[in-house]
A and B are shown apart, each in its own frame.
Chain A
């Protein structure tokens, strides 16, 4: 049984800045095993910095991040934005998905049979089996997105992070993505970073707005969602009061 009451990741009073100025200040956030959390905020508001901190790519300047995830390679599932890699890279779908197994293998030598099978099984599960041999440059946005999700899932992560997952895909793919994420959320928590939550919001259970500080909406009612959409803009204008999450 999963203990759903204890947070998997706890961000405690974390601040971070690249230069003299702070990008994030006094952030508190807890991610529970069944969470489906959307992190919203304006560009430059610190969303990307927050996800980098959660992924361990950056170290907090102050405060701490407590991680109760199982201690094994590949515990963090990560689906990056398309702009962070080269879509014309001469690789085939299966080769990209197999990269999710890199932490399972040592530094030397090739992937093995197990990696191959795990990648094939994941493609099957995400209905991508037909595309296994397709060069990634020939994929549509929606297909590419699912390939990246397959790559993230093939390491059997304990949590899944998606950075702007709807930015480069069409409406139909968004619907497929929504269904897929809901299904995955039955097993692992999901954290979606986005500046435009409209397409994914219906599935999201909690919303955190980041704009230097963090404002957490515990329940996703229509009102809270409406407030959430408006939140970044209003915050920019030193706006409305929000419920700010302190430690649970």
Chain B
């Protein structure tokens, strides 16, 4: 039986849920992603998303909505890391690695012990946006509102901490609070992203749009707006493509984004002799 046409598919509730969750996720990525990239939090993001799997598994085992487990564990993770002294970078790095693996291990054990139908691990690891329920959509919507409002309220402090934490501290800004807040916001975004692209691919959606935007824009506000636009385009196009080609949505979204990233990179190298403009923190111009 041939799949219904793309337009016809749009009339299904589950497709609408998928699109709604995907667009919200992309907007959130656009807002938080630039902070993740410039502040080099990608590894922490990976740790949070994998640790969240433990929470997902626990809730599955208990017969609750897994999203609550993911929210609980990722918030714990973020707060814990926010409170670790930044001076002790090595211990933080190791801590992320431990929590990353322990979360996945716990999740697998819980799911293995869940009586009755064992859910397909692949669903969580690579996401299946078409399984997003109406309840998930509401939770996603509420989380998005919280994240966006918080970023708007604390924007000044978050930028100051992202750019120069030591200066902000000397000035008397509550740096530890702001750093933890940024991690908490990232944790909430990660939970939303897990539904769309899955645990393993969260990092890509969180970093690809801002990395492209950072190549194109010189102003943080434009980086954020461009990231949102790119994220939404990537998600929608990826969803459509995955539907047409009968492929899993998460990987299609990510591969599409990676292709755009490479194209922009190549175009910049061709048109501008200076080459790629993205530089890591501390690297000289």
Q: Write the residues of chain A forming the contact surface with B, with a CB cutoff of 8 angstroms.
A: 55-57, 73-74, 76, 78, 80, 82-92, 95-96, 99-100, 102-103, 105, 107-111, 135, 137-138, 151, 155, 168
CA distance A215 to B256 in the complex (A): 62
Known: A84-B282, A91-B220, A103-B171. A96 touches B163 (CB 8 A): yes
Question: Least Cβ distance of B153 to chain A in Å?
Answer: 5
Sample (15) of A-B pairs whose CB atoms are under 8 Å apart: A73-B172, A78-B171, A80-B167, A83-B282, A85-B167, A86-B279, A89-B162, A90-B217, A99-B171, A108-B154, A109-B156, A135-B218, A135-B219, A137-B218, A137-B277
Q: Which of A73, A76, A99, A168 contacts B284 (CB 8 A)?
A: A168
Question: Least Cβ distance of A158 to chain B in Å?
Answer: 13
Q: How would residues 149 to 166 of chain B score, 1 for a CB under 8 Å from any chain A CB and 0 otherwise?
A: 000011111011011101
Question: Least Cβ distance of B43 to chain A in Å?
Answer: 17
B222's nearest neighbour on chain A, judged by CB, is: A90
Q: Which of A78, A86, A103 contacts B282 (CB 8 A)?
A: A86
Query: Does B285 lie within 8 Å of A86, measured CB to CB?
Result: no
Q: Verify if B174 is at the interface (C-beta below 8 Å from A).
A: yes
Query: Does B284 lie within 8 Å of A80, measured CB to CB?
Result: no
List of A residues within 8 angstroms of B162 by Cβ: 89
CA distance A56 to B160 in the complex (A): 18
Query: Does B281 lie within 8 Å of A85, measured CB to CB?
Result: yes
Q: Verify if B168 is at the interface (C-beta below 8 Å from A).
A: yes
List of B residues within 8 angstroms of A74 by Cβ: 171-172
CA distance A105 to B174 in the complex (A): 12
Question: Least Cβ distance of A18 to chain B in Å?
Answer: 8
Query: Does B170 lie within 8 Å of A76, measured CB to CB?
Result: yes
Query: Does B164 lie within 8 Å of A102, measured CB to CB?
Result: no
List of B residues within 8 angstroms of A89 by Cβ: 38, 162-163, 220, 281
Q: Which of B38, B166, B174, B284 contacts A57 (CB 8 A)?
A: B166
Q: How would residues 249 to 285 of chain B score, 1 for a CB under 8 Å from any chain A CB and 0 otherwise?
A: 0000000000000000000000000000111111111
A87's nearest neighbour on chain B, judged by CB, is: B285
Query: Does A82 lie within 8 Å of B171, measured CB to CB?
Result: no
List of A residues within 8 angstroms of B218 by Cβ: 90, 92, 135, 137-138
